[in-house]
Structure 1
Amino acid sequence: MELRSLGPRGPSVSALALGSTKFGRREGVKYPNDFALPSDGQLADLLALAKAEGVNLVDTAPAYGSSETRIGVLIGADEHWRIATKVGETFVDGCSHFDFSPSAIRTSVERSRRHLRRDVLDIVLLHLSDNDSEILRDGAAVETLLELREKGVITAVGASTKNLAAGLVAVEQCDLVMITLNPADQTQQPVLTTAHDAGKGILIKKPLDSGHHDNIPDALAGLVQEAGVSSVVVGTINPAHLADNCTAVRRALSSE
């Protein structure tokens, strides 16, 4: 699997990354079909397959239920893996709760270090809510992450944004940005272009429209071939789907 730069400070990451929402949470998700959480053995096998395929980035968050803890147990000590996690959102009693105060961010980072069993977190993103532009313009949340980066607790700082305006602000403030981009939603395309010109990293979320897009090979091919895309995050707990996704990405990159 091709490795790519994730901005000026980010690690080298595989063109395809593994999303982990389904590792630890079933409630309040937007997938078209229900699913059972994988067993520890099933999850270990899935991560082993991803590693064998050359995937080296897994994306998680405190809002993904037990995902962080399970990832930490299984691959926290494995230096092959780069882990992206987030701050600002938790999911409790069926509802999302947001807190971007400096104290909440510091507490979240320390909790993620424990859960992931990592002294230094590779990538930490603000898990932004609908008022993402306001949070970024306020500046306190980003500044807190930058302070932790300077202390060596975090390697690269980013933001997972929801709209175009916030994405463009995040390019200015952060090392990388996570944006939604798929055949049905191209609204954040200018963020990709701006980030590429600025040498910042870009992670793509919801590349398959949360499981609602059918032509998976074409969707993945189009995204990994886009200039400026560092990695495309696809969540799955199905080994066959993971293998197919890896094949689609390799074929797309070999045809460039």
Structure 2
Amino acid sequence: RYALAEESLADGLARLVNTCEKAADWAEAAAAAPSPSAAELIRTTAAAGLVTHSGGEAARAEPAALIAAARGLGLRAFGAAHSEDGRRRLSAATGDPDTAVTLAGLLSGAQGPGRDEDGALALDLLVVLDAPQLDVEGAAVLVEALADGARLVLSGDPGVLGSAGAGRVFADVLAARTCPQVVSRTPDPGPIGELVSGIGIGELNQVDAPGKEVVIVPVRDAGEAVHRTVQLV
């Protein structure tokens, strides 16, 4: 059953990629975004049917900005969280309680836009927060419910604990590299947040850490790395 779900999910994601048409009028919305990373997410989503977005806690504001921008363009944009707490936090971030749903509420019809005459979810853009928690069966059901031409953004921190069910949907989509990937440059507060944010985009930079929470020690080779480690311990 998991193999069938994975096959259905793959077909559904390919359908979203291939049926989405590039939007031409999102440039102004991107220019008004609250941060460079939010602007990048808006521009990328305008041109693709499937997008991944990764970052830490502070980066959660970027999907909220995307939803608000899409709504401002007249699109039916919604954000889905896995829990009621996540839904409330997203509502607060977007400033519009009607934009946030739980995944269970969305699929059951208890929350969100409901279904169109063809049985698909009546939306143009769906952002799934905490995407690492998606298991393969739940993701397959969700993607099957999206109409041709809809946009799907999977957002989350790839370093957190994955789904309780079978499958590593978010990690597999990232590894496949078949869709645009937006990595947030918005760091979480503090030196460790800044360090992790840099590593997330492939950079190791010195960070301002007066309390020595982060100390980067340059070395020439593996032998010196071992020597410095012994010294520090």
Same fold, TM-score > 0.5, yes or no: no
More helix per residue: 1 or 2?
2
The structure with the largest alpha-carbon Rg is 2
- Give the alignment's TM-score, normalised by structure 1: 0.34
More strand per residue: 1 or 2?
1
